[in-house]
Amino acid sequence: MDKQTAWTLLQQAAETEKKRHLKELLQDPQRFHDFSFRQDELLLDLSRQRITASTLNALLQLAESCQLRHWIDALFKGDAINHTEQRPALHTALRQPKGTPFTLQDQDINADVQQALERMEQLVEQLHQQQWRGFSGEPINTLVNIGVGGSDLGPMMVCHALEELQPQAGRAIKIHFISSMDGSQLSSLLQHLDPARTLFVVSSKSFSTADTLANAATARDWLQQASDMPEQLLLKRHFIGITANPQKAREWGLPDANQLHFWDWVGGRYSLWSTIGFAIAVRLGMPGFQALLDGAWRMDEHFRTSDWSHNLPVLLALTEIWNINFLDIHAHAILPYDGRLAHLPAYLEQLEMESNGKSVDREGLSVTHHTCPVLWGEIGPNAQHAFYQLLHQGSESVMCDFIVAAKRYGGAGESLQAQHRLTLANCLAQARVLALGDNALDQSQASAWQRYQGNQPSSLILLDELTPGALGALIALYEHKVFVQSVIWNINPFDQWGVELGKQMANTLLPHVGAPVKPGTFDSATEGVLDALNQLTGGNTAS
């Protein structure tokens, strides 16, 4: 079947399905059995999605008509599927076990990956053993990761999520993440740090991101002022650069011995598995980092080899395609019922929207359908007291992902265990009410403003426990889901040209901030604000 035929069949099915309410589908006692799928420590429950067996079948035909098999193979083989930058997207190679050779352009990249991991391990050990010493000879006890986007969100999300599993050796090192261009995070953090015991990790694939270089320069100035030591010594003892562009890091002043490397074929938002995950390895120790990689690798294998009828990334992707392209749902809320996953929504915002926020296809033509929806999120129970009102009674259809761990707080006091049960109950309550509306309880006598429409579809991802392996699998599940959707939409998920123009424009504007601007240089709105700035500050923007 060709793609157009498969698409038309789904459009026709949607005419009927749009009128069907989830309360009808959930009457089927087999529903959970038929629409929930387990893979190792993850259970994907799609039973509250507005799908039927026949819709799923039609979606699988659509996937086939888009040559999904060919694209999955091309991804794992290392074909240059990021065609606009002529390179592969081989984040999967980063989690492939040691001793599984993988040749890319005559180079065994598995050997390269293992070598980088070994180098990372040496540095982690040095820090854990308190052998990395600052300018005064005292051991480093604080690591500050300076980076933005993929060089920040992934490591920060994982470090926060798995903090409770930190081994004793890792506890000696405090970890902070700094990303904001305006220096507000850094300036307040520096007031609490001991310069003699602080290591800055400048994480940047390109080593040319303005935000990161500005924060790194502020950190270097701070150290110089606080220590009065020669710059070279400070760079050697207090900075590590993590990059795919060693030359730029050298130009910035970092000797090769202070660099960890990764490769062009790792996309920034797919890089937490590489040396960019250094902070994770410091927090968890190398065994913990390896367990994260292993969880992702097991999901890779599942995605690559298992039949699509029970393939978690494929099923999750297709269900959302159904929502977006056929049920006209263009908002997606990420709702972890677990404070440890507080940064998961921000991480997924980049992963999903920077990957699939595109409207030009692989042939350079405008797409004729919706692609990535607007995606946002918050810790579920907190969001209940903030934006759930809109989910329950607003005018927008929204699909939701509930993410929760079954087991938590073993060995902790009863009150924490009770909090976990309370959280599980709230997660299930919200998923049920969003699906059924006021049919969940008998509300038929309630006034109009107390009624709930329901029929908001959701997926529930139940982790056995939030372990490094389960988190690795969860992240890989989302990565591959994004990939499958890009195949259906025929777009390249691995470039991000849409972020370039703003960077160029900022470079053009910078010399005009706090200076008079000649009329006709920009547009009237920009010139108006530049004039106002100039008048307010007299050319000096410092307060």
Interface with ligand F6P (CB under 6 A): 148-151, 204-206, 209, 212, 268-269, 354, 496, 499
Q: Where are the alpha helices (DSSP H) in 306-413?
A: 312-321, 344-348, 355-356, 380-384, 388-393
- Structural contact between residues 96 and 293, judged by C-beta atoms closer than 8 angstroms: no
Burial of residue 394 (number of CB atoms within 10 Å: 0-12, 13-18, 19+): middle
Longest alpha-carbon distance in the chain: 77
Q: Which is nearer to ligand F6P, 293 or 353 (CB)?
A: 353
Q: Least separation, in Å, of the C-beta of 468 and ligand F6P?
A: 22
CB of 280 to ligand F6P, least distance (A): 16
The least CB distance from residue 233 to ligand F6P, in Å, is: 26
Q: Smallest distance, Å, CB 267 to ligand F6P?
A: 7
**Sheet holding 259-261: strands in order across?**
174-178, 142-146, 198-203, 239-243, 259-261
User: In whole angstroms, what is the distance from residue 32 CA to residue 48 CA?
Assistant: 9
Residue 269 in contact with residue 348, Cβ under 8 Å? no
Q: Between 262 and 337, whose beta carbon lies closer to ligand F6P?
A: 262
Question: Residue 324 carries which DSSP code?
Answer: I
Minimum gap (Å) between residue 82 Cβ and ligand F6P:
12
Nearer Cβ to ligand F6P, position 458 or 496? 496
CA distance 66 to 70: 9
**Coil, strand or helix at 522:** coil
CB of 314 to ligand F6P, least distance (A): 25
Q: Closer CB to ligand F6P, residue 90 or residue 398?
A: 90
| Neighbour tally for 218: CB within 10 Å | 16
- The nearer residue to ligand F6P, 197 or 269, going by C-beta atoms, is 269
Q: Which residue has the tokens 């921000």?
A: 346
Q: Where are the alpha helices (DSSP H) in 172-252?
A: 184-190, 210-227, 231-238, 246-252
Which residue matches tokens 């927008």?
396
The catalytic residues are: 354, 385, 503
Nearer residue to ligand F6P within complex by CB, 170 or 493: 493
